[in-house]
Amino acid sequence: MNDDLTVQFSVTSPLTVWSYEWYVGDTKIGEGSILEYTFVRSGTWTVTLRATHQLGRVINTANDVVAKSISFVGRYMPIFLLFVLAVWYAILLVSDVFKSDPGRLLALSIALSAFGAAYWLLGLPYLTIPVNGVDAVLMYVGLSLILSAGVMRSRIAAFILFGAGAVMLFLIYRMLVPFL
């Protein structure tokens, strides 16, 4: 899983009279004739190699590179997290955690919405992120907040946790599904 979205760049015939810098867009990502880099999201990225001769001559070469998740977890993590959310609220519903009809209706709505969103996302071309990256951690935190909201006794605390988690997940999913 650590190889998700990781690409290795190399100069095929490096010479000591040249120095090499690598860029993704306008951002310098490293130096040297060999570089390993992990992209923050899947997609097509323009990578530029800037070779500078010790006498001052500069040559830029750009190529588009496709970064994609290669592990099952990396590819399907956004869908899996929605599925976990749906199953959790379905379990809470059948285990009678919600005592009132409005509470049960809310749990059912959350479970069905999460199942529906997972199914919908499965048919879309969405971006992926490294499973150990910052965006993934934000997804885990958002999911945890929403899951814990389901077992809170205080409605206000549950509302705050659910709202904070929903906002975090929405921001991440909005980035992964560009037309949201």
Along the 180 residues of the chain, how does pLDDT read in single tens digits? 467 788 899 998 888 999 999 999 999 999 999 999 988 888 899 999 999 999 999 999 999 998 888 888 888 999 999 999 999 999 999 998 888 899 899 999 999 999 999 999 988 888 888 888 888 899 999 999 999 999 998 999 999 999 999 999 999 999 888 776
Phi, psi of 174 (to 5 degrees): -65, -35
From residue 146, how far is each of 58, 95, 108 by CA, in Å?
52, 18, 14
Is 1 inside any structural domain? no
Helix (H) or strand (E) holding 50, with range, is strand 43-53
CATH code, 22: 2.60.40.10
Helix (H) / strand (E) element for 38: namely strand 34-38
Looking at 27, 47, 67, which one is the last position of a domain?
67
Pick from 45, 67, 89: which residue ends a domain? 67
Say whether both 61 and 76 belong to one domain: no
Could you give the CA distance from residue 42 to residue 60 in angstroms, rounded to a whole number? 24
pTM strictly above 0.85: no
